[in-house]
């Protein structure tokens, strides 16, 4: 990224929010491609990959590498939710946008990850045992809204502390009962990152620790700290600052899931 300063071309060495979103988007796609397409291929070929790590099979190795890269996506999205909550002009519209895309994404998500090929061919396209990550992000933002409301009130410190814990716990329970992607841990990560937002590396580090406690497979999430380190609050340009440019990042989620689901079904996996 270049900026003009007194006639000189200066190269920006920091990352913008748009570039962070792009990194997360690429990592997410690699994760889903491996999880959906490659995972189903390995299952169809009878190649064990869930119970044992077979280094002799390059597809299995590539599968785990891509899934590991995919762990970077969620903590970046969680961090950006906190950034958006602080800088958005209308936090409720922001929340409504997340909720809308959560609903839009549910069928593609189910076709991709929750429904077998035979079920899809029988026109079974939705189920409610596991919901997409947009619901987790929306719940996390709802918790942040609650925390912001508490911050604006002149509560006694002890009461404020109890209310904050209650707000976070309520959000975690909602994630648990709705069975959202990353569930209780995902909501807690967003809340923790928001509460430590003034120290971004500490906030992201805490988030990654929480994810790693959820599963050892989440340890590669710590790699997200590298791009976040180079982020210093710059928004960046999306589609030439087109007013609807931001929807590209929202829309990519359901669109790429639907494409992967159709490709998998057509391929016979």
pTM: 0.90
What pLDDT was estimated at residue 1?
A: 46
Q: Domain locations in the chain?
A: 2-267
Burial of residue 253 (CB within 10 Å: 0-12, 13-18, 19+) is buried
What would the pLDDT profile of 219-252 be if each residue is shown by its tens digit?
999 999 999 999 999 988 765 566 667 789 999 9
What would the pLDDT profile of 130-171 be if each residue is shown by its tens digit?
999 999 999 999 999 999 999 999 999 999 999 999 999 999
- CA–chain centroid gap for 253, Å, is 10
pLDDT category of residue 193 using cuts at 50, 70 and 90: very high
Residue 48's nearest CA partner among 73, 263, 56 is 56
pLDDT category of residue 265 using cuts at 50, 70 and 90: confident
């Amino acid at each position: 990224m270049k900026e003009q300063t007194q006639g000189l071309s200066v190269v920006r060495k920091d990352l913008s929010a748009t570039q962070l979103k792009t990194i997360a988007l690429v990592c997410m796609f690699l994760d889903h491609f491996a999880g959906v397409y490659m995972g189903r291929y390995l299952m169809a070929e009878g190649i064990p990959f869930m119970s044992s790590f077979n280094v002799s099979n390059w597809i299995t190795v590539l599968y785990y590498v891509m899934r590991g890269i995919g762990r970077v996506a969620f903590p970046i999205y969680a961090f950006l939710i906190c950034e958006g909550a602080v800088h958005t002009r209308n936090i409720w519209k922001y929340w409504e946008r997340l909720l809308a895309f959560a609903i839009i994404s549910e069928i593609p998500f189910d076709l991709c990850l929750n429904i077998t090929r035979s079920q899809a061919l029988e026109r079974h396209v939705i189920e409610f045992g596991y919901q997409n990550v947009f619901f987790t992000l929306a719940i996390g933002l709802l918790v942040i809204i609650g925390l912001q409301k508490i911050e604006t009130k002149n509560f006694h410190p002890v009461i404020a502390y109890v209310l904050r814990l209650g707000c976070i716990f309520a959000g975690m329970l909602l994630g648990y009962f709705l069975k959202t992607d990353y569930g209780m841990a995902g909501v807690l990560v967003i809340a923790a990152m928001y509460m430590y937002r003034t120290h971004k590396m500490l906030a992201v580090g805490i988030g990654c620790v929480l994810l790693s406690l959820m599963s050892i497979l989440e340890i590669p999430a710590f790699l997200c700290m590298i791009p976040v380190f180079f982020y210093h609050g710059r928004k960046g340009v999306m589609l030439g600052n087109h007013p609807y440019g931001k929807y590209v990042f929202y829309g990519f989620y359901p669109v790429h899931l639907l494409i992967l689901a159709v490709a998998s079904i057509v391929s016979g996996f």
